[in-house]
Amino acid sequence: GEPPPTLIDYLPKTALLVIDECHVTIPQLGGMYRGDRSRKETLVEYGFRLPSALDNRPLRFDEFEKLMPETIFVSATPGPYELEKSQGVVIEQVVRPTGLIDPEVEVRPVATQVDDLLSEIRARTKVNERVLVTTLTKRMAEDLTEYLHEHDVRVRYLHSDIETIERAEIIRDLRAGVFDVLVGINLLREGLDLPEVSLVAILDADKEGFLRSARSLIQTIGRAARHLHGKAILYAGHITASMRFAIDETERRRQKQTAHNETHGITPQSVVKALREIIDGTQSVKFNTGARSIAKNIANLEAAEEEAKYEAMPAGALSKLLNKLEKQMYTHARNLEFEKAAALRDKIQTIRSRKFGVIEGNAGKA
Q: Give the pLDDT band of residue 306 (cuts 50, 70, 90).
A: low
Kindly write down the DSSP assignment for every residue of 121-182, as one continuous string: HHHHHHTT-EEEEE-SSHHHHHHHHHHHHHTT--EEE--TTS-HHHHHHHHHHHHHTS-SEE
Please give the Cα distance from 232 to 102 (Å, whole number).
Answer: 10
DSSP-derived secondary structure for 58-89: PPPHHHHHHH--EEEEE-SS--HHHHHHHTT-
d(CA 64, CA 13): 14
Separation CA 293–CA 297 (nearest Å):
6
Q: Is the pLDDT of residue 74 over 70?
A: yes
Q: Would you call 271 helix, strand, or coil by DSSP?
A: coil
User: For residue range 224-278, what is the model confidence (pLDDT) as tens digits?
Assistant: 998 999 999 999 999 999 999 999 999 999 999 999 999 999 999 877 777 655 4
Quote the longest CA-to-CA distance of the chain. Answer: 99
CA nearest neighbour of 17 among 79, 77, 85: 85
Q: What is the pLDDT of residues 177-188, one digit of tens each?
A: 999 999 998 766
What is the pTM for the complete model shown?
0.69
Q: Given this model, what pLDDT does residue 302 score?
A: 53
Q: What is the amino acid identity at position 10?
A: Y
The better pLDDT of the pair 54, 165 is held by: 54
pLDDT surpassing 80 at residue 285: no
Strand, coil or helix: 17: strand
Choice among 228-237, 297-306, 335-344, 348-357 with the minimum mean pLDDT: 297-306
State the average pLDDT over residues 76-102. Answer: 89
Residue 74 has phi, psi (to 5 degrees) of -120, 125
- CA end-to-end span of the chain: 59
227, burial (CB in 10 Å: exposed 0-12, middle 13-18, buried 19+): buried
Does the CA dihedral 298-299-302-303 come out positive or negative?
negative
Average confidence score pLDDT of the chain: 84
Mutual orientation of helices 214-221 and 241-264 as an angle, nearest 10°? 40
Instruction: Report d(CA 145, CA 141) in Å as an integer.
Output: 6
Q: How many CB atoms lie within 10 A of CB 125?
A: 17
Q: φ and ψ at 138, to 5 degrees?
A: -65, -40
- Say if residues 361 and 323 touch (Cβ distance below 8 Å): yes
pLDDT of residue 359: 40
Q: What is the pLDDT of residues 325-343, one digit of tens each?
A: 899 999 988 888 888 888 8
Q: Which of 81, 57, 77 is nearest to 68 (CA)?
A: 81
pLDDT at residue 311, rounded to an integer? 57
Nearest to 282 by CA among 178, 172, 174: 172
The torsion region of residue 87 among left (phi > 0), alpha (psi -120 to 50) and beta comes to left
Q: Give the residue-averaged pLDDT of 85-107.
A: 90
- For residues 217-229, average pLDDT: 91
Query: What is the share, in percent, of the chain residues with pLDDT greater than 90?
Result: 52
